[in-house]
């Protein structure tokens, strides 16, 4: 998201022409005006693709959990998106992109057009830019629902969604994309589309949520051995992975924030990394367990996509494939590691988004064709990447940890054991996800 | 009037049904069931962790026949359903007191 950095005056290099054109130039014939229109249309389409990722998350999470909780997981996905959009519009967007200090924005509440004037976002209009960013905020929020699946009170998750998108996520965004201290480093951190800024924020919040909740009933045998709790629909999960894969072509190329030549380049690194992640996760789990596990292959594709998100505009095609392959291998070991440590993440969200996100961000320090260690750029970029990864980890684990603990001691975080065994659908939402056929000829109950 | 019940491996079901139909029977009921016999359950893996499946999927065939037809039917089922492996299933025969055809009210052998 280099353009955003320019706007807040970090001195990054000027990208493409048309930068200075107002978003809605009235003389529709100039090249600048046409470029501005193209930019807005492309970024809006990309925003819709990112919103489509919500469907992917919903299906992955539903597929990898049990049928008795499917309505609950769908509801969490719908509500973290909807609550997230509102919270981000009212408060979060100003903290992320409003003028302020190096740590958070202090102006531009309620999408104030007097603060976010024409030109504030380069060629992009306030509506276009906000919709794109709101879709990103909702992505960070929804990552958590899978890790906390099958045992979290709905109202507690609802509260979490508001706070993450209103306060926690926007602060991290401000640090880099809002021109904050990570962008002000002598060698600014590179996280083009948000391996760390978006995915790790969700992943580390998911980590704290899963730890504070504790594992699902039955996840561990009496001797502590992790037991499999198979999800109820592998087709859901893999269709979800495909939808996310498609959505990523909005997530990464859209983050160029312009309709220019870089869009296709970025799309290709995204494609190669996601494919490599799927293949190498499959080979790894096959080698380790004797079976090419389907759900793990899906995690691998997503790990590859998360991994390349930071460096998607800064690494070569084969650098991207390498990042994806390694992310695919790492995600398998991470899932096994967390399982053994009694951190019950039913869908692998912590490994996919937290671990692969941090890994991909660090790899930019090695593989950036301009400034990476392997390209003779020295250690400066790698150090900046490390600072960003560690800072986000510390900030999110502390704030999200405090948030979940506060929810736990006030309204409670976990459903009672009887409800967990019966399933959350009926008790939390009044109806099962897969209801029985109700015979129309039978007299209505009550 | 006898009820022949057979629990067999799912992949044998088409072959068995075809062979049983060829004996001239008038009807049958087939149900997907789960159970275990002497072979017990088995283990499967998911995301690298093993879990035990106690009940193996099977198909249950129920055929109501006249007593004189029972040996022919059971022979056919045994010869087609068997793969010579543990878990091939079982056949049992029970005596029925009453059978009624709902449409006509016919009873006993006439209702088969």
Question: Mutual orientation of helices A201-213 and A380-410 as an angle, nearest 10°?
Answer: 40
Spatial separation of the C-alpha atoms in residues B55 and A429, rounded to whole Å? 31
Distance CA A124, CA A4 (A): 10
> Closest Cα of chain A to B35: distance in Å?
19
Q: What one-character DSSP code corresponds to residue A441?
A: T
Please tell me the least confidently modeled range out of A20-34, A193-207, A387-401.
A20-34
Which of A229-233, A277-281, A344-348, A441-445 is predicted least confidently?
A: A441-445
Domain count for chain B, please give it: 1
Q: Which tokens sit at A421?
A: 């065994």
Mean pLDDT of A95-116: 96
How many residues are present in chain A?
A: 446
User: Where does the pLDDT of residue A19 fall: very low under 50, low under 70, confident under 90, or very high at 90 and above?
Assistant: very low
- A229 chain-B contacts, CB cut-off 8 A: 46, 51
Asked, for residue A73, whether it belongs to a domain, the answer is yes
Q: Looking at the complex, report in whole angstroms how far the Cα of residue A336 sits from the nearest Cα belonging to chain B.
A: 8
Chosen for mutation from B48, B50, B51 (greatest number of chain A CBs closer than 10 Å) is: B48
B21-79: pLDDT as tens digits: 999 898 999 999 999 988 788 888 888 888 888 899 999 999 999 999 999 999 999 99
pLDDT tens figures, A283-339: 999 999 999 999 999 999 999 999 999 999 999 999 999 999 999 999 999 999 999
Q: How far apart are CA A109 and CA A113, in angstroms?
A: 9
* Residue A213 phi, psi dihedral angles, 5° rounding: -70, -40
In the structure, what pLDDT confidence band is assigned to residue A2 with cuts at 50, 70 and 90? Answer: very low
Q: Is residue A60 in a domain?
A: yes
Q: Could you tell me the CATH number of the domain that includes residue B24?
A: 3.30.70.120
| A119 pLDDT tier (thresholds 50, 70, 90) | very high
Q: Once rounded to an integer, what is the mean pLDDT over residues A10-26?
A: 43
Query: 3-state class of A275 per DSSP?
Result: helix
And the tokens for A263?
């869009």
Q: How confident is the model at residue A443 (pLDDT cuts 50, 70, 90)?
A: low
Q: Is the pLDDT of residue B110 over 80?
A: yes
Q: Per the domain annotation, does A408 fall within a domain? A: yes
Take residue A300 and report the two structure tokens written for it. Answer: 């691998």
A139-153, A335-349, A407-421, B38-52: least confident range:
B38-52
Query: Which residue from B minimizes the CA distance to A347?
Result: B47
Please report residues of B whose CB lies closer than 8 A to that of A226.
49
Domain housing B73: 2-111
pLDDT value of position A26: 55
Give me the domain span that covers residue A325.
Answer: 33-417
Q: Could you tell me the pLDDT band of residue A5, with boundaries at 50, 70 and 90? A: very low
Using a CB-CB cut-off of 8 Å, the residues of chain B touching A228 are 44-47, 49-51
Interface touch B49/A228, C-beta < 8 Å: yes
| Confidence at residue A442, expressed as pLDDT on a 0 to 100 scale | 59
Say if A352 falls within a structural domain. Answer: yes
Query: How far is C-alpha A203 from the chain's CA centre?
Result: 8
State how many domains chain A has. Answer: 1
pLDDT tens-place string over residues A413-439: 999 999 999 999 999 999 999 988 777
- Find out whether A388 and A361 touch, Cβ atoms under 8 Å: yes
> Rounded CA gap, A66 and A229, in Å?
8
Indicate whether A158 pLDDT > 90: yes
Q: Is A106 inside any structural domain? A: yes
Q: How many Å lie between the alpha carbon of B12 and the closest alpha carbon of chain A?
A: 26
- Domain harbouring A371, CATH code: 1.10.3430.10
Tens of pLDDT, residue by residue over A20-40, are 445 554 555 899 999 999 999
Give the pLDDT score at A445: 57
Q: Inspect the interface and report whether the beta carbons of B48 and A332 lie closer than 8 Å.
A: yes
Q: Does residue A192 belong to any structural domain of this protein?
A: yes
Look over chain A and give the mean of its residue pLDDT values, rounded to a whole number. Answer: 93
Which residue matches tokens 């389907």? Answer: A294
Q: Which of B45, B47, B50 sits opposite A335 (nearest CB)?
A: B47
Instruction: Please indicate, yes or no, if residue A438 is contained in any of the structural domains.
Output: no
pLDDT at A6 exceeding the cut of 50: no
What confidence category does residue A15 fall into, taking pLDDT thresholds of 50, 70 and 90? very low
Cα(A358)–Cα(A206) distance, integer angstroms: 14
Residue A431 belongs to some domain of the structure: no
The number of beta carbons lying within 10 Å of the beta carbon of residue B78 is 16
User: What number is the average pLDDT over the span A3-29?
Assistant: 45
Predicted confidence at residue A205, as pLDDT, reads 98
Confidence class for position A12, pLDDT limits 50, 70, 90: very low
Inform me whether the pLDDT recorded for A116 exceeds 60: yes
Count Cβ atoms below 10 Å from residue A444 Cβ, excluding itself.
Answer: 6
Q: Inter-chain contact B45–A296, Cβ cutoff 8 Å?
A: no
Phi–psi pair at B52, nearest 5 degrees:
-95, 135
Chain A hits for B46, CB-CB cut-off 8 Å, are: 228-231, 293, 295
* CA dihedral for B40, B45, B50, B53, sign (positive or negative): negative
Contacts of A348 in chain B (CB under 8 A): 47
Position with higher pLDDT, A245 vs A17: A245
| The two structure tokens encoding residue B8 | 């067999």
């Amino acid at each position: 998201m280099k353009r955003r950095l320019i706007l807040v005056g970090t001195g990054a290099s000027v990208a493409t022409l048309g930068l200075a054109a107002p978003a809605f130039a009235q003389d529709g014939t100039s090249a600048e005006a046409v470029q501005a229109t193209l930019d807005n249309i492309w970024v809006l389409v990309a925003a819709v693709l990112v919103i489509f990722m919500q469907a992917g998350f919903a299906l992955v999470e539903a597929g990898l959990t049990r049928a008795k909780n499917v309505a609950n997981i769908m509801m969490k996905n719908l509500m973290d998106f909807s609550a997230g959009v509102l919270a981000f519009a009212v408060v979060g967007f100003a903290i992320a992109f409003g003028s302020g200090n190096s740590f958070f924005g202090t102006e531009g509440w309620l999408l104030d057009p007097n603060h976010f004037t024409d030109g504030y976002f380069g060629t992009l209009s306030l509506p276009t830019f906000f919709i794109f960013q709101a879709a990103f905020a909702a992505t960070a929020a929804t990552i958590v629902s899978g890790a906390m699946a099958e045992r979290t009170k709905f109202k507690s998750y609802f509260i979490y969604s508001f706070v993450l998108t209103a306060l926690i996520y926007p602060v991290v965004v401000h640090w880099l994309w809002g021109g904050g201290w990570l962008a002000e480093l002598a060698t600014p951190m590179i996280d083009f589309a948000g391996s760390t800024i978006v995915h790790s924020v969700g992943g580390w919040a998911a980590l704290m949520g899963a730890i504070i909740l504790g594992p699902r009933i039955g996840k561990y045998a009496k001797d502590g051995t992790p037991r499999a709790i198979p999800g109820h629909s592998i087709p859901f999960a893999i269709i979800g992975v495909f939808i996310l894969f498609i959505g990523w072509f909005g997530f990464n190329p859209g983050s160029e924030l312009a309709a220019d030549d870089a869009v296709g380049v970025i799309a290709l690194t995204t494609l190669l990394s996601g494919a490599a992640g799927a293949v190498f996760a499959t080979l790894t789990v096959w080698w380790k367990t004797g079976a090419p596990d389907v759900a793990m292959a899906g995690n691998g594709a997503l790990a590859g996509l998360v991994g390349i998100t930071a460096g998607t505009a800064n690494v070569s095609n084969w650098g991207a494939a390498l990042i994806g392959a390694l992310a695919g291998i790492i995600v398998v070991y991470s899932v096994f590691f967390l399982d053994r440590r009694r951190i019950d993440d039913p869908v692998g969200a912590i490994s996919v988004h937290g671990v692969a996100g941090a890994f991909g961000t660090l790899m930019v320090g090695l593989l950036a064709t301009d400034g990476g260690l392997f390209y003779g750029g020295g250690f400066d970029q790698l150090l900046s990447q490390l600072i960003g990864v560690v800072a986000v980890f510390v900030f999110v684990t502390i704030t999200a940890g405090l948030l979940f603990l506060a929810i736990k001691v006030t309204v409670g975080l976990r459903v009672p054991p009887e409800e967990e065994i019966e399933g959350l659908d009926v008790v939390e939402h009044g109806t099962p996800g897969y209801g029985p056929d109700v015979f129309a000829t039978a007299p209505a109950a009550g | 009037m006898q009820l022949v019940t057979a629990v067999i491996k799912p992949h044998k079901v088409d072959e068995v049904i075809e062979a049983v139909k060829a004996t001239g029977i008038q009807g049958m009921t087939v149900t997907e069931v789960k159970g275990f016999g002497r072979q017990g359950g088995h283990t499967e893996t998911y995301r690298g962790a093993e879990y035990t499946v106690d009940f193996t999927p099977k198909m249950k065939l129920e055929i109501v026949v006249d007593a004189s037809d029972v040996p022919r039917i059971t022979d056919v089922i045994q010869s087609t359903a068997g793969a010579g492996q543990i878990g091939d299933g079982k056949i049992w025969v029970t005596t029925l007191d009453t059978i009624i055809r709902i449409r006509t009210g016919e009873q006993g052998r006439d209702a088969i």
